[in-house]
Structure 1
Amino acid sequence: KLDQESTLTLNDALAACGMTDAFGDQADFSAITGSKNNLYISSVLQKTYIEVSEKGTKAAAATEIGIETMAMPVEADPVVADRPYVYMIVDLEHSVPLFVGRVVNIPAQ
């Protein structure tokens, strides 16, 4: 009898095989998305499972590819939040607040 599963991160193995562009700034997935939108692969995980018993063998594998977007570098003055404030997450398309929060206890720095 055997019952085993594993999860592997394949980023390093794929990069060692020559697949390096997809993991950084030089990634170009415009053929998939139809536009240059600065996507890159953040992680490749593979999960496998096998069970062997007197009744037979069951096996499965699945691969997950995490995609993220690259952000433009932003230079801005630091924000100092040293008094209570309110913040919001807003759906700009519909002008609807999705979340509103407030901070009232500011820790001393």
Structure 2
Amino acid sequence: MYAIIATGGKQYKVSEGDEIRVEKLSAADGETVTFDQVLAVSTDDGLKAGADAAGATVTASVVTTGRAKKVIVAKYKRKTGYHKKNGHRQYFTQVKIDKINA
């Protein structure tokens, strides 16, 4: 059984027991989070999507929050002496999927 959820502008395919990294959520470590934007749910009866999956939810618990590895952004324009180097570390929340309520 799996579900496709949407959070942080991205879509994730999750099953019970999976650990995924999503965009930072405003929840502390150990708290329970409910994802109600479920796009599709796979059940024993088959795949439910759209309006059929409107009442489905996915319950997860927050494992940790942190920052990803640094991504280096370099800009360069030839013949002008223009060099710019910038770094970025994205915040994330790692969650463990506990239950899929179809």
Using structure 1 for the length normalisation, give the TM-score.
0.29
Tell me which protein shows more strand as a share of its residues: 2
Q: Which has the higher Rg, Structure 1 or Structure 2?
A: 1
Q: Give the structure, 1 or 2, with the largest relative contact order (CA under 8 Å, sep 6 or more).
A: 2
Using structure 2 for the length normalisation, give the TM-score.
0.31
